Amino acid sequence: MNFELDGLHRPVIVVGGGQAGLSMSHCLTSAGVGHLVLERERAGHEWRTRRWDSFCLVTPNWQCRLPGFPYPGDDPDGFMVRDEIVTYLESYVKAFDVPLCEGVEAKRLRQLPGGGFRLTTSAGELTADHVVLATGPYQVPLKPRLAERLPEGVVQLHSAEYRNPEQLPDGEVLVVGTGQSGCQIAEDLHLAGRRVHLAVGSAPRVARRYRGRDVVAWLDEMGYYGRGIDEFADADAVRFRANHYVTGRDGGHDIDLRAFAAQGMQLYGRLNNVRNGQLSFADDLRRNLDAADAVSEGIKDSIDAYIAKRGVAAPKEDRYKPVWEPQDSQRTLDAEALSAVVWSTGFGRDHRWIDVPVFDGKGYPTHHRGVTSCPGLYFLGLPWQHTWGSGRFCGVAADAEYLARRITDVGRGGDVRWLSGTPVSTYPADDDWVAPRTVA
């Protein structure tokens, strides 16, 4: 959609054209609130450009329930691949005629003295009464400084840059990090017949299916995705926990690193150092594998308890038995043996363009359910913004609806000119191996 942006005013400007920004647009449209969505690239850019060729969702398609637009396909228990996810978002834009400006980068956000905001963009200056920042948490790919010590001949990619095994030169590959991206990329390389070395961190795992159903279906029914962050005493720690690794590939299955090891993948503990052409690893492989298994089995315990309490008819299932145990785990690796390293070490945030004091000492936005201490400024799409489902296809609608209500409540409590786009001057107050970081 083309707009003359310079000098334009809107009651609400949404920054970000992913699932969060598009959901916000739908909720604002439903409330009759004038707004604009700015996207630096194209709608669904992160899915389009930062996912590998075989990427697919790890949650079933039926959990794709953006506001007003549930999963439209004929495989609700399947897992959409990358291009299908992009098509889903593009269809969302068309279905609701989202006022989306693509190719417009937000460069600076400032609060105006009399209320409202000025947004400097690549297409000019805009003003708004409210701004919703829906740019997500995965903005800057992170690599550790020790990557600089690897030999020049070793090709290095971040997980955001990885596409397929053929992209890498022939030879052995080290994958660092075992969040969802690291484990799935390691599997992708392993299935292609590559010799893979994997530095295992502390990310937990979860079974794909248990007692006749996808584990996600059990957890959804048990209310886990709706559990609020306020229920946890250690909320700050919960927000930055690594996601459980599992996959939707080929219909969905467990990711069992022990099974990979039994098939020839080389497992190590955390990567500690690179020095004189040698990579050294911590002696924590057994502990990390045992901890990941314990989380998976603990989830099964919860499901068993739920089944027993509710009297649910569900088939019995034998519990997991480890198929491989580390003996004297290898602690070093010669860098010259490697042709490539894939860093699955997460992302950082880049909020330097936001010139509004709403961040804590670590650069994380301070908010309650996305509402900041600065009247009129909101965040959307953050992990654990309010619930475990926040930021996901299954939970972003509830967060967007909440913010839309907050915005319309402010409008109703202020000047009636707000809904027509006239500025209002006053508002009522209102990854697992290196830290701190967000794990992919």
Greater model confidence, 428 or 309: 309
Same domain, 127 and 41: yes
Distance CA 218, CA 418 (A): 44
Same domain, 56 and 156: no
Which pLDDT score, from 0 to 100, does residue 205 have? 97
Domain containing 325 equals 143-343
Which pLDDT score, from 0 to 100, does residue 426 have? 28
Same domain, 337 and 355: no
Domain C-terminal end among 282, 315, 343: 343
- 3, part of any domain: no
Same domain, 84 and 177: no
- 438, part of any domain: no
| pLDDT of 417 strictly over 70 | no
- 433, part of any domain: no
382-402: per-residue pLDDT in tens? 999 999 999 899 999 999 999
- 77, part of any domain: yes
| pLDDT of 6 strictly over 80 | yes
CB 270 within 8 A of CB 179: no
Domain C-terminal end among 309, 343, 377: 343
| pLDDT of 416 strictly over 80 | no
Distance CA 265, CA 285 (A): 14
421-432: per-residue pLDDT in tens? 333 322 222 233
252-295: per-residue pLDDT in tens? 999 999 999 999 999 999 999 999 999 999 999 999 999 999 99
**pTM of the entire structure?**
0.90
Distance CA 172, CA 420 (A): 61
Same domain, 337 and 324: yes
**134-143, 234-243, 320-329, 338-347: which range is least confident on average?**
234-243
- 426, part of any domain: no
Which pLDDT score, from 0 to 100, does residue 429 have? 28
Which pLDDT score, from 0 to 100, does residue 237 have? 83
99-117: per-residue pLDDT in tens? 999 999 999 999 999 899 9
Same domain, 130 and 67: yes
- 225, part of any domain: yes
Mean per-residue pLDDT of the chain? 91
Distance CA 331, CA 169 (A): 25
CB 133 within 8 A of CB 16: yes
Mean local confidence (pLDDT), 42-59 = 95
Same domain, 201 and 270: yes
Same domain, 39 and 181: no
Same domain, 266 and 409: no
**Structural domain count of the chain:** 2
CA angle 81, 202, 56 (to 5 degrees): 0
Mean local confidence (pLDDT), 211-228 = 96
Same domain, 54 and 156: no
Q: What percent of the chain has pLDDT over 90?
A: 84
Same domain, 83 and 166: no
How many of the other CB atoms lie within 10 Å of CB of 322? 12
CATH of the domain at 238: 3.50.50.60
- 102, part of any domain: yes
Chain centroid to Cα 162, Å, comes to 17
- 389, part of any domain: yes
Indicate the residue type of 201: G
Same domain, 158 and 261: yes
Confidence label for 194 from pLDDT (cuts 50, 70 and 90): very high
